Copies of this chain bind each other. A is one copy, B any other.
């Protein structure tokens, strides 16, 4: 079960701040995507291969984030990501964003993804992906 947790770190970019002096809320979803692609990649299932070799995409069906503390320019933020197979064509990822310097929780989130083929029709994830995700 432990393997399901991928951890990757992003450094806050100036472009990600807004005039409130903190990271603009929508940018967390860009970080969470880095989290899930790094998780897939660490399992030997790189997302670009899923697109180019299997012809499959993972469009987002739902995105949810609760913001606890603000991230600021220059902060290093650890993105912890966990994957769950809800159905062979529906995957859920859960995320925590934590400030590296003091381990403070900045945000908790989840996204739900449909597995779709090039015609944007639902399509089960290949078995090797499902097996890897389930074994986590």
Residues of A within 8 A of B (CB): 11, 13-15, 17-22, 24-27, 29-30, 33-34, 37, 46-48, 51, 57, 59-67, 70, 73-74, 120
Contacts and interface: CB of A to CB of B under 8 A. Distances in A.
A34 B73 CA distance: 11
* Tally of this chain's copies: 4
A56 to B, nearest CB: 11
Nearest to A19: B17
A40 to B, nearest CB: 11
Given A19-B20, A19-B21, 12 more contacts: A14-B37, A15-B18, A15-B24, A17-B18, A18-B19, A19-B51, A19-B73, A20-B57, A25-B29, A26-B27, A26-B33, A62-B64
A70 B59 contact: yes
Contacts of A19: 14, 17-22, 51, 73
Given A15-B33, A29-B26, A67 B59 contact: yes
Interface of A is mostly: mixed
A106 B51 CA distance: 23
A15 B20 contact: no
A2 B11 CA distance: 25
Nearest to A18: B17
20 contacts: A14-B18, A14-B24, A14-B33, A14-B37, A15-B18, A15-B26, A15-B33, A19-B19, A19-B20, A19-B51, A19-B73, A20-B59, A25-B29, A26-B63, A47-B74, A59-B67, A61-B67, A62-B65, A62-B66, A64-B64
